[in-house]
C-alpha cells in the first residue's frame, strides 16, 4: 500500500475518533450523543483496519527480505550479506 495513502487513512481515522470524543465532551443536547458516538465508533474501526494493513505490509516486506537474504547450498543456509564467506567444496 502506498505510504501517502496509509498516512491519509490514519489521519482520517484519528480525526474521526478525536472529533467524536470532542462532540461527546461538548454536551450539546442530542447531537453530541448522536454524532459523537457514531464518529468515535467509526474512527476506532478505521484505525483497526489501517493498522492491520500497515502491520500486514510490514510483516510481508520483512519476510520477503529475509527470504531474499538466504541462499541454500548443499543444505547449508548462508545469508547473502553475511560477513563470513564459507567456501564449500
Q: Which residue has the higher pLDDT, 65 or 28?
A: 28
Q: pLDDT (tens digit, 9 = 90+) per residue, 48-60?
A: 998 888 888 888 8
Q: pLDDT (tens digit, 9 = 90+) per residue, 3-47?
A: 888 888 889 999 999 999 999 999 888 888 889 999 999 999 999
Cα(5)–Cα(52) distance, integer angstroms: 14
All cell numbers assigned to 34 = 448522536
- pTM across the whole model: 0.62
Write down the pLDDT at residue 65: 73
Amino acid at each position: 500500500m502506498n505510504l501517502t495513502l496509509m498516512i491519509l487513512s490514519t489521519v482520517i481515522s484519528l480525526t474521526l475518533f478525536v472529533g467524536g470524543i470532542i462532540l461527546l465532551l461538548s454536551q450539546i443536547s442530542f447531537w453530541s450523543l448522536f454524532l459523537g458516538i457514531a464518529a468515535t465508533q467509526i474512527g476506532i474501526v478505521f484505525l483497526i483496519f489501517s493498522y492491520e494493513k500497515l502491520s500486514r505490509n510490514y510483516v510481508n516486506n520483512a519476510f520477503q527480505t529475509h527470504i531474499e537474504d538466504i541462499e541454500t547450498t548443499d543444505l547449508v543456509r548462508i545469508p547473502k550479506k553475511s560477513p563470513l564467506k564459507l567456501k564449500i567444496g
